Amino acid sequence: MSEVADRINALVAHWKPRLGLETWRITVECSPVILWEGGDHVQAEAMCTPYWKYLTATLRFSTEKMAEFDDEEFEETVVHEMVHIVLSELDKRDEHEERVATLLSRALLGRWSLDHE
């Protein structure tokens, strides 16, 4: 495993109980680029695919993109993706999940600021 993957796995282990996700089976996949299940390339640095009915989730991270982040951005990205697991049972007709995940991850990390873009 790479250093980036080791850091991601350590952060997932650290934040899992803090986010109340102890009962979830979370799989972490790290590769230079992220691919959808169908094989299409994804431009994001990370993505979350939760299956709340079964308490399972897959977190995918681009080691190439994550390696470019400073420590703060790195941890925020991991926490942000894990917050998507917490929010996964919400009604998906609401398009605000991404914004809520961003604000919650920053609040949890003590980086509460609307201008932290």
Domains and CATH numbers, the chain: 3-108 (3.30.2010)
The whole-number pLDDT of residue 83 equals 94
Each residue's pLDDT tens digit, 103-115: 888 888 887 655 5
Average pLDDT for 7-16: 97
Q: Tokens representing 116?
A: 């932290």
Query: Which DSSP category does 22 fall into?
Result: T
Q: 3-class SS at 20?
A: coil
The whole-number pLDDT of residue 117 equals 46
Q: 3-class SS at 66?
A: helix
The whole-number pLDDT of residue 14 equals 97
Distances (CA, A) of 13 to 3, 7, 78, 89, 93: 15, 10, 11, 22, 30
CA 110, CA 71: separation in Å to the nearest integer?
14
The Cβ of residue 57 has, within 10 Å, a number of other Cβ atoms equal to 21
